[in-house]
């Protein structure tokens, strides 16, 4: 057993549910099994967007973010269903409970994937044996398929879990990099998006192996510190721990400010709310998350504090959207008494990479129509250091704010 559990190393799993939403629907209604199935918003409309699809549908070329009309042309027998997020959340919680039966070191990273550190689980068997039991339990108890990557760190485990789907178990050791990892195209590397891949190809970095041996100074000039970080990953180096508490960071992002003087001035309140929403937006962008709930906190001159929140139909991130919801809450709940402190918290957060696939449920076409504008503004902001198109009421960065009410809900330990 010692060959599987080195004294100075770690054994990390990455558990990735296969075609999760479609698989949950098939488990709920077994008649769907074996049929080409897509989950999409507005399935009646040709312009609705595919959120995910079954492997049977993928064989016909059906892909995520593809318009429903195009998907039906590729696969005339395609069945299209609206998503049931409550059903998916329930399945996700049950899946993570199974992982927690093996070790307490479980780090959920999205609704359908997570890391496990089984370094101290030698008494339960070899890593492949443990992985097979996990995979079988999830299949038997939830009727859901998953793939598991086994590696000495999180990055390699993540890459390994993608190598065999569905229902795969893949071991990726550092000695395997040259044969298994390095030949892959650079865009298949976790952490390399389309924009970064395009930049890397300009300097003749076509594969992960090219990245591993490229002069690090040129990578840092091109990508900053991320260039060196990506090269370390390509060489199999990743010291990040599996952190069960990391999930808490994505439960809420909030900030508040105490006013210089108690106020009842409506325009001053609006100005403060603008400043706060820009702070929250910046932190959300840094964390790459979207929110589906906004909470407003009002503390009055007598220190009485009230909090009110609103659940939203769609996920938001922009300061303008956060401001509009916050202002509505303020107009509805302010009692006209002098205000000492205001705070805004974005809640019910989810990773943008996950939710981007679901935009069509509410506003995909609207969002997509503005994507070029958003990209242009982001590029100018990156170049000049600030958004050159701020609204006239945008805040100046001259107010000290503090985070508040970090409501770290842990659904996985209930």
- 113, 132, 261, 337: the catalytic one is 113
- Domain presence at residue 212: yes
- Domain presence at residue 3: no
- Collapse the DSSP code of 353 into the 3-class scheme (helix H, G, I; strand E, B; otherwise coil) and give the result: helix
Whether 311 and 293 have beta carbons less than 8 Å apart is answered as: yes
79 and 110 housed in the same domain:
no
Closest alpha carbon to 172 in 131, 227, 112, 229: 131
Peptide bond preceding 166 in cis form (omega within 30 of 0): yes
C-alpha separations of 211 from 182, 187, 194 in Å: 9, 11, 15
Confidence of residue 287 (pLDDT cuts 50, 70, 90): confident
Supply the mean pLDDT for the chain. 84
Confidence of residue 141 (pLDDT cuts 50, 70, 90): very high
Q: pLDDT tens digit string along 55-95? A: 999 999 999 878 889 999 999 999 999 888 889 989 999 99
Instruction: Identify any residues that bridge with 344 across adjacent strands, giving them in sequence order.
Output: 255, 296
Sole residue written with tokens 């609204």:
391
- Domain presence at residue 366: no
Judge whether residue 176 has pLDDT over 90. Answer: yes
Judge whether residue 306 has pLDDT over 60. Answer: yes
- Collapse the DSSP code of 3 into the 3-class scheme (helix H, G, I; strand E, B; otherwise coil) and give the result: coil
- Collapse the DSSP code of 358 into the 3-class scheme (helix H, G, I; strand E, B; otherwise coil) and give the result: helix
Whether 73 and 43 have beta carbons less than 8 Å apart is answered as: no
What pTM, to 2 d.p., does this model score? 0.64
Q: Residue 266 belongs to a domain with what CATH number? A: 3.30.1490.100
The response to whether 407 counts as a known ligand-binding position is: no
- Domain presence at residue 405: no
47 and 161 housed in the same domain:
no
- Domain presence at residue 409: no
What does the buried/exposed string (b/e) look like for 300-310 if buried means 16 or more CB atoms within 10 Å of the residue's CB? beeeeeeebee
Helix pair 20-28, 85-100: axis angle to 10 deg: 100
- Domain presence at residue 45: yes
- Which whole number is the average pLDDT over 250-258? 82
| Pure H helices in 262-363 | 266-287, 319-333, 352-355
Q: Residue 142 belongs to a domain with what CATH number? A: 3.30.70.270
- Domain presence at residue 11: no
What does the buried/exposed string (b/e) look like for 144-171 if buried means 16 or more CB atoms within 10 Å of the residue's CB? bbbbbbbbbbbbbbbbbbbbeeeebbbb
Whether 37 and 57 have beta carbons less than 8 Å apart is answered as: yes
Backbone angles phi, psi at 194, to 5 degrees: -60, -40
182 and 302 housed in the same domain:
no
Polymer length in residues for the chain: 414
| Residue 278 to residue 267: CA distance in whole angstroms | 17
Judge whether residue 384 has pLDDT over 60. Answer: no
- Domain presence at residue 241: no
| Residue 185 to residue 234: CA distance in whole angstroms | 12
| Residue 363 to residue 366: CA distance in whole angstroms | 5
136 and 173 housed in the same domain:
yes
Of 84, 102, 119, which residue sits at a domain end?
A: 84
- CA torsion through residues 319, 325, 326, 331, sign: positive
101 and 200 housed in the same domain:
yes
149 and 277 housed in the same domain:
no
- Which whole number is the average pLDDT over 181-189? 96
Q: What is the total count of domains within the chain?
A: 3
The response to whether 112 counts as a known ligand-binding position is: yes
Domain residues for the domain of 134 are 88-235
280 and 325 housed in the same domain:
yes
Backbone angles phi, psi at 132, to 5 degrees: -65, -40
Residue 113 is among the residues annotated as catalytic for this protein: yes
98 and 226 housed in the same domain:
yes
Confidence of residue 390 (pLDDT cuts 50, 70, 90): very low
75 and 164 housed in the same domain:
no
| Residue 283 to residue 170: CA distance in whole angstroms | 36
The more confidently predicted of residues 104 and 194 is: 104
How many alpha carbons lie under 13 Å from residue 13 in its C-beta half-sphere? 36
Of 84, 105, 130, which residue sits at a domain end?
A: 84
Residues with Cβ < 8 Å from 187, sequence gap 6 or more?
Answer: 194, 197
Of 33, 58, 84, which residue sits at a domain end?
A: 84
Backbone angles phi, psi at 221, to 5 degrees: -65, -35
| Residue 169 to residue 92: CA distance in whole angstroms | 20
195 and 296 housed in the same domain:
no
Confidence of residue 47 (pLDDT cuts 50, 70, 90): low
162 and 73 housed in the same domain:
no
Q: Residue 69 belongs to a domain with what CATH number? A: 3.40.1170.60
- Look at residue 64 in the predicted model and tell me its pLDDT: 83
The more confidently predicted of residues 144 and 68 is: 144
27 and 67 housed in the same domain:
yes
């Amino acid at each position: 057993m010692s060959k599987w559990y080195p004294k100075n190393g770690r054994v990390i799993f990455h558990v990735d549910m296969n075609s999760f939403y479609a698989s949950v629907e098939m488990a709920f209604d077994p008649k769907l099994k074996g049929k080409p199935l897509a989950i999409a918003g507005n399935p009646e409309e040709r312009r609705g967007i595919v959120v995910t699809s079954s492997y049977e549908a993928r064989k016909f070329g059906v892909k995520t973010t593809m318009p429903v009309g195009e998907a039906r042309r590729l696969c005339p027998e395609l069945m299209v269903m609206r998503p049931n997020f409550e059903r998916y959340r329930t399945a996700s919680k049950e899946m993570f409970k199974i992982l927690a039966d093996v070790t307490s070191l479980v780090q959920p990273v999205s609704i359908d994937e997570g890391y496990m550190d089984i370094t101290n689980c030698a008494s339960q068997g070899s890593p492949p044996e443990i992985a097979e039991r996990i995979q079988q339990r999830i299949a038997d108890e939830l009727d859901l398929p998953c793939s598991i990557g086994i590696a000495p760190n999180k990055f390699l485990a993540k890459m390994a879990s993608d190598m065999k789907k569905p229902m795969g178990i893949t071991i990726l050791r550092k000695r395997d990099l040259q044969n298994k990892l390095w030949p892959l195209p650079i865009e298949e590397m976790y952490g390399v998006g389309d924009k970064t891949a395009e930049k890397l190809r300009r300097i003749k970095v076509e594969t992960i192996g090219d990245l591993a041996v490229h002069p690090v100074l040129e990578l840092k000039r091109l990508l900053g510190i991320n260039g060196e970080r990506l090269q370390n990953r390509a060489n199999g180096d990743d010291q990040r721990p599996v952190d069960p508490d990391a999930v808490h960071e994505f439960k809420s992002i909030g900030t508040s400010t105490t006013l210089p003087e108690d106020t009842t001035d409506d325009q001053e309140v609006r100005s403060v709310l603008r400043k706060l929403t820009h702070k929250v937006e910046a932190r959300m962008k840094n964390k790459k998350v979207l929110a589906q709930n906004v909470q407003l906190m009002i503390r009055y001159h007598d220190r009485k504090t009230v909090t009110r929140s609103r659940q939203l139909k769609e996920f938001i991130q922009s300061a303008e959207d956060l401001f509009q919801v916050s202002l509505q809450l303020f107009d509805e709940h302010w009692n006209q008494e002098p205000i000492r402190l205001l705070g805004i918290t974005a809640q019910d957060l989810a990773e943008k990479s996950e939710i981007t696939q679901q935009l069509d449920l509410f506003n995909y076409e609207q969002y997509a129509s503005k994507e070029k504008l958003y990209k242009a503004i982001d590029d100018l902001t990156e170049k000049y250091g600030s958004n050159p198109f701020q609204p006239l009421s945008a805040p100046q960065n001259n107010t000290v704010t503090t985070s508040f009410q970090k409501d770290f809900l842990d659904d996985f330990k209930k």
